[in-house]
Amino acid sequence: MSQVKSKKRVSDHGEVFTNEREVNAMLDLVKHETERIDSRFLEPACGNGNFLAEVLRRKLAVVDQRYASSQIEWEKNAMTAVSSVYGVEILEDNAEECRERLFNILTKAYFANFGVNGKMGYIESIRYILKRNILWGDALDFTNPVTKKPIIFSEWSFALDDKVKRRDYVFRFLVEQTHQFTLDFNDESQPAAIDEPIRDFPLVHYLKLGQK
């Protein structure tokens, strides 16, 4: 894969893609984390997904090794792997390409394992998670480049066996927590925990996340 799409994009945005050898060398430095199914990865300038694609491939290799004999367990653990991968990208076409790339990696592995037994509800749920996890935005000012709305990420976790819990967080607050910046305030004018979710969703069966 070329490291440059066009000279103009390099000039305007400094866009240069990391090649596969460098991606693998860097991920090998944290190899144990790339092979932990629920380990979260965030790429704040994800491009079209060179790093995130390889992270997902490594996680799915572990899922295949451990759960290929049970479709339900494979589905749930592969969903955990996908839902733990996050990206922000300032160029909209790159964000869309990254999202589709990760989706294709997952669906290829899914149907390779289970063929005609694959469930469309599962595929729709995966697409919905990636829509929430791979976002068009500017990681420097924590907003969408056009609407200027804040970047909001979803946290996904399994509860009650087949049900998934979703909580939404403001990206800026998560970063500020890491760097111990100032606190925000809640509706009662009291300091609010900056890792406090802005929205908490009801439990949903993992095959129904993509339903409207």
Window from 23-27, 86-90, 182-186 with minimum mean pLDDT:
182-186
The tokens describing 168, both together, are 């939404």
pLDDT beyond 80 at 28: yes
Q: Going along 21-72, which residue ranges are E strands?
A: 41-43
pLDDT at 177: 65
The conformation of residue 181, written as its DSSP 8-state character, comes to -
Whether pLDDT at 8 is above 60: no
Quote the radius of gyration of the chain (alpha carbons, Å). Answer: 18
Burial class (CB in 10 A: 0-12, 13-18, 19+), 44: middle
64 pLDDT above the threshold of 80: yes
Structure-token pair, residue 138: 């500017």
pLDDT interval class at 173 (50, 70, 90): confident
User: How confident is the model at residue 124, as a pLDDT?
Assistant: 97
| Residue 184, amino acid | D
Question: Average pLDDT, stretch 3-24?
Answer: 57
Strands 184-185 and 85-89: unpaired
Q: pLDDT class for 114, splitting at 50, 70, 90?
A: very high
Q: What average pLDDT does range 2-19 have in this prediction?
A: 49
User: Domain locations in the chain?
Assistant: 7-205
Q: Any idea which of 21-30, 108-117, 141-150, 197-206 has the lowest mean pLDDT?
A: 21-30
